[in-house]
C-alpha cells in the first residue's frame, strides 16, 4: 500500500535503529556538552535533508536525546559539501 515505507516510524526504521544502538553499545557517540551518555536515539551523520542515507549504518550513530536535540539546533559537526543535482 502507498505510504508503507513513507517517512516516519516504520518497521524498517525501528529495526535499523535497534541495530545501531546495539552496535554502539547504547552509548552516545556525539558526547556534546551536557551529554547524558546513554543513547536512546539514532543520529544521521549526514542529514536526510543533505542527501544522507536514512537506513545506511555508516551514516548512523547512537545518540542520547540531549545531543540529538542539540544537533538539530547547531550546524553539522563535520564539514560537508552540499551537493545539488
Ligand atoms: Zn550525548
Assess if residue 77 is contained within a domain: no
- Answer whether residue 71 shows pLDDT above 90: no
Count other Cβ atoms within 10 Å, centred on residue 66: 19
Assess if residue 46 is contained within a domain: yes
| Total domains in the fold of the chain | 1
Ligand 1 center to 43 CA (angstroms): 10
**Separation between Cα atoms, residue 65 and residue 73, nearest integer Å:** 13
Give tens-digit pLDDT for 1-18: 444 445 556 899 999 999
Give tens-digit pLDDT for 15-59: 999 999 999 999 999 999 999 999 999 999 998 999 999 999 999
Assess if residue 78 is contained within a domain: no
The answer to whether residues 67 and 38 touch, using CB atoms and an 8 Å cutoff, is no
Assess if residue 76 is contained within a domain: no
Assess if residue 1 is contained within a domain: no
Ligand 1 center to 63 CA (angstroms): 5
**Model pTM above 0.75:** no
- Answer whether residue 85 shows pLDDT above 70: no
Assess if residue 19 is contained within a domain: yes
Assess if residue 6 is contained within a domain: no
Ligand 1 center to 28 CA (angstroms): 5
For 41, the domain range is 11-71
Amino acid at each position: 500500500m502507498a505510504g508503507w515505507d513513507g517517512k516516519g516510524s516504520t518497521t524498517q526504521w525501528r529495526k535499523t535503529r535497534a541495530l545501531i544502538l546495539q552496535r554502539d553499545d547504547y552509548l552516545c557517540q556525539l558526547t556534546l556538552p551536557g551529554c547524558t551518555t546513554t543513547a536512546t536515539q539514532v543520529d544521521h551523520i549526514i542529514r536526510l535533508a543533505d542527501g544522507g542515507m536514512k537506513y545506511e549504518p555508516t551514516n548512523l550513530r547512537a545518540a542520547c536525546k540531549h545531543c540529538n536535540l542539540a544537533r538539530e539546533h547547531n550546524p553539522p559537526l563535520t564539514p560537508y559539501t552540499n551537493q545539488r543535482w
